[in-house]
Amino acid sequence: MPEGHSIHRLALQLSSVFGGQRVAASSPQGRFVAGAAGLDGRVLTRASAHGKQLFVEFADAPDESQTPPIFLRVHLGLYGAWSFGGDKSFMGASSIGAPRKIGERELAGSPDAAYDGPPAPVGAVRLRLVSDDGWADLRGPTACEVITEPERDAVVARLGPDPLAGVSAGGVVGDDAGAHAGHDVVRFAAGLRKSASPVGLLLMNQAVIAGVGNIYRAEALFRQKLDPWRPGRSVSTEEATVLWDDLAVTMRDGVRAGRIITTLPADRASSSSSRVKREDAHYVYGRAGLPCRRCGTPVAVAEMAARKLFWCPGCQAS
């Protein structure tokens, strides 16, 4: 399942290639006909994300008239994906979603190639958006619906704070984008400290912190030397704050790079490489049985809430 950095990256991409344009919407698959009809002919004003939830805003006119906006809410889940194509303005766009390997798959094609409209849909396309310059296809999402602004706000209210808050909404990717997030840090720390559940479980609870998935969970706990089975209520406010700040930095790095890289150059086998190799990108995730990059202890793996949890018994001992 794509983690929060990919959804913010997707929101930035949708805003970049469709923002301010009137779009045609359809459901080639036929499972979203009514929803697509509600979007068809409207102006896509912007897209934003909160955690793993994508919100695409549509208005009646480019000037965002007094008519209330409506929102396309998408949760990609395990199998959802967006793909893009079009003229040279779309050449930097990437396909984001499953199946995922390293980063997002860059579109093929030449920036100088003439754009003569979208191709015939391939596969089960739930939603197709088309502008004068290009197209985007959505396949296999867990959730895809058209909602009002109050309904959008209600969805966000059920979620925990997002370490990437404001990144997709304002187009800010720098580390200073989270400088205003003091309230969010307090909420996150309180969510951890009120529960006896393991911190490794709480980081995957979207009501505690939105956007963190299995990779960021494992890597953040390692980087902060926290035992995944340590009860949340035993984590100090200072520890929770440092954990939040580290997630904010590494997830912003993910937005910039389009992939999750959590290792420092000194801890990689090929630190001189201009592109970090897949096997050097993580400290513990996916490295069960291999020696820890810091202490040499074999990386352990166990099931936690039906997901594989990776950690170093040496560096993360209680």
Residues marked active site are found at 2-3, 52, 307
Best CA proximity match to 10, nearest among 84, 117, 77: 84
> What does residue 255 show for φ and ψ, rounded to 5 degrees?
-65, -45
DSSP string, 11-72: HHHHHHHHTTEE-EEE-TTSSSHHHHHHHTT-EEEEEEEETTEEEEEEESSTT--SSPPEEE
Helices (H) and strands (E) in the chain, counts: 8, 13
Cα 110 to Cα 184: distance, rounded to the nearest angstrom: 43
Distance of CA 121 to the CA centre of its chain: 25
Q: Which residue has the tokens 């779309």?
A: 90
3-class SS at 5? helix
